[in-house]
Amino acid sequence: MITVDTLYRELPVLETRRLILRKVTLADLDAIFAYSSDEEVTRFLRWGPHTTREQTEAHLREVLQGYEAGTDGPWGIERREAGRLVGSIHLMEVSVQHRKAEIGFVLARPYWGRGLMTEALARVLEYSFAVAGLNRIEASCLVENRAGMAVLNRAGMRREGILREYSFQKGAFRDFCLYALLQREHADRRTGRG
């Protein structure tokens, strides 16, 4: 079982056929601002949209501090062919005691509908269960976020229920769908038993 501080300090590079998942850097500022300032991209997120590059830079500096402190930090999603960041995927709220974490993700609008987030999520789930030793990965999304739910379903995550008025977000209490995947369910899917 990996420790939380090791996970974030030594966040490994993960690769797929089309993607490289890696730590973000200050050099990614323009790419992150491009999708973080898009109202459509941030519509279902708990944050955003960013209104200035300075806001994105402040956020990015917090992420870099999280890596250094070993407390938090996402993978940036880079398309191999473009060499440019197009989103991020994030293991959050990691509990070593309970061997679980929550996952969240964001993808720039020009890359929607291409299966990139499904590919990134599959790779992070594989790492989470096989290397990090987690037993449960959770995700929650607004009940209106059909695209987000579709990604979670394709990854084999199961809908466990509705979290009513779970979060006060963007001026209102909002309902969220809770999804989860267990290590044994993931293993069964990979072997064709699930």
Q: Give the mean pLDDT of 99-115.
A: 95
Q: How far apart are CA 50 and CA 48, in angstroms?
A: 5
Which residues does 185 contact at the CB level (< 8 Å), separation at least 6? 156, 158, 194
Residue 98 reports pLDDT greater than 70: yes
Range name among 33-42, 83-92, 114-123, 182-191 with the lowest pLDDT average = 182-191
pLDDT band at 181 (very low <50, low <70, confident <90, very high): very high
- Model confidence over 117-176: pLDDT tens digits? 999 999 999 999 999 999 999 999 999 999 999 999 999 999 999 999 999 988 899 999
Residue 178 reports pLDDT greater than 80: yes
Backbone φ and ψ for 62, nearest 5 degrees, come out as: -65, -40
Question: What CATH architecture does domain 4-191 belong to?
Answer: 3-Layer(aba) Sandwich (3.40)
Backbone φ and ψ for 114, nearest 5 degrees, come out as: -110, 5
pLDDT of residue 170: 86
Q: How far apart are CA 110 and CA 136, in angstroms?
A: 31
Comparing 190 with 175, the larger pLDDT belongs to 175
pLDDT of residue 3: 77
Q: How far apart are CA 172 and CA 181, in angstroms?
A: 29
pLDDT of residue 190: 75
Q: Give the mean pLDDT of 183-192.
A: 86
Q: How far apart are CA 101 and CA 91, in angstroms?
A: 6
Range name among 1-10, 24-33, 80-89, 124-133 with the lowest pLDDT average = 1-10
pLDDT band at 193 (very low <50, low <70, confident <90, very high): low
- DSSP string of the chain, one letter each residue: ---HHHHHHT---EE-SSEEEE---GGGHHHHHHHHT-HHHHTTSSS----SHHHHHHHHHHHHHHHHHTS--PEEEEETTTTEEEEEEEEEEEETTTTEEEEEEEE-GGGTTSSHHHHHHHHHHHHHHHTS--SEEEEEEETT-HHHHHHHHHTTPEEEEEEEEEEEETTEEEEEEEEEEEHHHHHHHHHT--
Residue 96 reports pLDDT greater than 70: yes
* Mean confidence (pLDDT) of the chain: 93
